[in-house]
Amino acid sequence: MTGYRVGIDLGTTYSLVAALVDGEPKVLPNALGEALTPSVVYVEPNGTVLVGAAAAAKGALDPARVARTFKRDMGLERDYALGDKHFKAEELSALVLRQLKQDAESALGGSIEEAVVTVPAYFGELQRRATRDAAELAGLKVERIINEPTAAALAYGLHERHRELSAVVLDLGGGTFDVTLLEIMEGVIEIQASAGDTRLGGEDFLEVIERLCLERLKTQGLELVAGGTGRARLREACEQAKRRLSTADSTRVALPALPTQQGERDVELELSRAEVEAGFAPLLERMTAPILRALRDANRSPQDVGEVLLVGGATRMPCVARLASQLFGRLPLRSLQPDEAVALGAAVQVALKAGDAAVGDIVVTDVAPFSLGLAAMAEAGGARVTGLFSPILERGTVLPASRVERFFTTTDGQKVIKLEVYQGEHSLCERNQKIGEYTLKGLPQSPAGEEGVDVRFSYDMNGVLDVDATIVSNGKTANFTIERTPGRLSQSELKETRKRLERLKFHPREALPNVTALSRAEALYVEITGPARASLGQAISHFRAALESQDPALIARLREALLSRLLDLSQHP
């Protein structure tokens, strides 16, 4: 083998990379020795780019230079301005993937030959292609994209391959929610149905807590300064509160010297799990809809499901487990770490693709998450209606799949036909997502309705669509490649963008532990007061002096002392 193969979970809030090590999938550590890398990018005033934990810590104090949750905008035209630099979502994702690639190469001791990257099952055509673009920009060879719940099922199925069971995977990550129904039988994992919501995740639950805190501030006559650091500090404090409420009935949000329009104020807010979960109710209702849709598509009832698997860090919230128990009448399982299951499954998929004997007896199938079709016209009583959605390949179709439908001309002597491709479930095209179009020329002139065009949709295991159109009378065929869709980079743009990203300045990988430790300490220093702040300030000063000394042994010793102080303060605030 000329290089290593890895599986990558490119997440909304955290990303991971895993590989098969000694026949078992293992999560590989990053430069800090941690499994989770925050999907965060920060640009320092001097133009240096930070990715991961250091970026998250810096961003808490300088929100105008940080980008988060950009995975939700994959395939869209949104521009992120970080200082004087501008990025698209796939470019930011490429920076995260670049960091994961470096970490994997360091952990494995060699170059990465190929990667399998996961996406939400409910990601559409444009989002999947944008993910491939991001991987290409990061210098990764990605021939296989796999749905996140399918990856989790693979990780689970590796351990349960000799069982026969039906299961549902509920995957609630930072930004997306997926539901997948599957069966495991004699090493075959059959995906039966997928549904989800690409705009529902842990970040939305966090926003509920944040809004609740803002309302509390208003009752105290306080309002945050627009564009200041107060909102970023509040969000970070709410994130910590959300985690604590997963195990505690109540918690407090403490924000000393919070900048408000009424001046700096020491703020302390009490939150109970009951009131927070009351605010979660609309989000839990949104989770219920795709679960029921997946059950309908698979022609299953909740009682037919043998096991409920929870995947994604946000499933640690007790209300999610409770919802699952209520819907399926059984306690859900977390036999694998919720944060790691998807990455581990991606590593299993890599091994399957490479024919590794350790996973040689596992087979996995998948299904199309969306219906795909063309815009069509209907005529009745002399009246014509356009913009109707005509599905060619329906959701739930087992992949890979190829389907063909025949369409006819609508006017006499028609020489061209415009094929507009849509994805979605509504009968009207305007309510679905347009993913591309192609104008087929060269139709022989004939009366309306006599000339036919056969349109074939081929959907591969990556969830990528290929379209062929054939004129029936003369056999002329055209391949429909979606090159210029909204948010999609052309090959020349990909090449230029990759060169531009390579010119960015990055901290050396060996310096990241120092940068991250200092950034985390500075972020916490803002949040605390009194003797604890004085003690932390002293530790920061000593560490800065060590960095100036350039003595590796001294730097390492004082960095560990600083991290130990941070850990102590986080456990005993």
- Which residues of the chain are modeled with pLDDT < 70? 1-2, 159-162, 480-490, 571-573
**DSSP strand E in 305-463: where?**
307-311, 363-367, 372-380, 383-393, 398-399, 401-408, 417-423, 433-440, 452-459
> What spatial distance separates the first Cα and last Cα of the chain, rounded to whole Å?
50
Sheet holding 307-311, edge to edge: 307-311, 165-172, 177-185, 188-197, 363-367, 398-399
Question: Which pLDDT belongs to residue 184?
Answer: 85
Question: Which pLDDT belongs to residue 571?
Answer: 63
CATH architecture of 4-200+285-367: 2-Layer Sandwich (3.30)
Tell me which residue of 368, 440, 360, 385 sits closest to 407, measured CA to CA: 440
Question: Which pLDDT belongs to residue 465?
Answer: 84
Question: Which pLDDT belongs to residue 258?
Answer: 87
Output the pTM of the full model: 0.87
Element containing residue 505 per DSSP (H, E)? strand 505-506
Question: Which pLDDT belongs to residue 484?
Answer: 43
Backbone angles phi, psi at 400, to 5 degrees: -70, 155
Catalytic residues: 9, 71, 148, 171
Q: In this structure, which topology does domain 372-476 adopt according to CATH?
A: Substrate Binding Domain Of DNAk; Chain A, domain 1 (2.60.34)
Domain positions in the chain: 4-200+285-367, 372-476, 509-571
CA angle 363, 364, 366 (to 5 degrees): 155
Which sign, positive or negative, has the C-alpha torsion 441, 444, 450, 455? negative
- The contacts of residue 550 (CB under 8 Å, 6+ apart) are none
Q: Which two tokens stand for residue 197?
A: 């919501």
- DSSP string spanning 427-477? SBGGGSEEEEEEEE--PPP--TTT-EEEEEEEE-TTS-EEEEEEETTT--E
